[in-house]
């Protein structure tokens, strides 16, 4: 007995493991569609199944907001000519996502700076712009709690007098620490450090 195959012209996919009465390998073949999945006639983006026999992926493409002339460097979507200009990205979100992916050290520093400033403002403390790299250089990469070298890619900017105890977010009150040392210290009194 020969192996069962899809009865759609030009398909010949195996029907192994399917119901004995099944004649097609997929709904696509059953409905008479063949070839690559359908794409939007304007931007070449994918058409979802919910679009049925639609030619466009959205109302914007249907209205004709411009033919694609470039592809976003982050999400690979088509960039219409009316929004393209000289940009390599479809929008500010993709531009920011790409910058964060290509600059992990700066991203980490900015996130840490923002979080420390936010916590200090929330507690009503004095807030000074503190550069992590400047604190690392000043302390020579040494943990102020255990006095051993810290990993340059994994260290905390510790508030010597915790913000919760009235400490300031300034160069005078921050120091390099190992994550474990800092977390172990918590909001304890500054006498914990020697």
Give dist(CA 188, CA 46) in Å, integer: 56
Q: What is the pLDDT of residues 55-73, one digit of tens each?
A: 777 777 776 655 545 777 7
Predicted local distance difference test score (pLDDT) of residue 69: 58
In 3-state terms the chain splits into helix, strand, coil percentages (rounded to 5) of 35, 15, 50
For the domain covering 104-192, report its CATH number.
1.10.30
Q: How confident is the model at residue 51 (pLDDT cuts 50, 70, 90)?
A: very low
Buried b (16+ CB within 10 A) or exposed e, 22-55: eebbeeebeeeeeeeebebebbebebeeeeeeee
For the chain, what are the domain ranges?
Answer: 1-35, 40-95, 104-192
Q: What is the pLDDT of residues 73-118, one digit of tens each?
A: 777 777 765 544 567 777 788 888 888 888 888 888 888 778 877 8
**For the chain, what is the mean pLDDT?**
77
Helix, coil or strand: residue 169 = strand
User: Number of H helices and number of E strands within the chain?
Assistant: 7, 4
pLDDT higher than threshold 90 for residue 144 = yes
């Amino acid at each position: 007995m020969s192996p069962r195959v899809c009865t759609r012209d030009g398909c010949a996919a195996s029907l192994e493991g399917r119901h004995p009465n099944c004649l097609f390998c997929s709904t696509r073949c059953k409905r008479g569609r063949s070839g690559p999945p359908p794409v939007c006639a304007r931007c070449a983006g994918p058409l979802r199944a919910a679009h049925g026999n639609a030619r466009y992926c959205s109302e914007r493409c249907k209205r004709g907001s411009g033919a694609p002339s470039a592809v976003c460097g982050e999400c690979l979507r088509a960039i219409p000519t009316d929004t393209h200009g000289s940009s390599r990205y479809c929008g500010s979100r993709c531009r920011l996502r790409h910058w964060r992916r290509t600059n992990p050290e700066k991203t980490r520093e900015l996130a840490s700076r923002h979080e420390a400033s936010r916590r200090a403002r929330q507690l009503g403390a004095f807030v000074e712009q503190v550069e992590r790299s400047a604190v690392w250089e000043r302390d020579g990469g040494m943990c102020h709690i255990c006095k051993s070298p810290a990993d340059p890619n994994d260290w905390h900017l510790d508030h010597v007098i915790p913000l919760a105890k009235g400490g300031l977010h300034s160069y005078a009150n921050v120091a390099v620490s190992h994550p474990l040392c800092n977390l172990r210290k918590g909001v304890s009194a500054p006498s914990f450090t020697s």
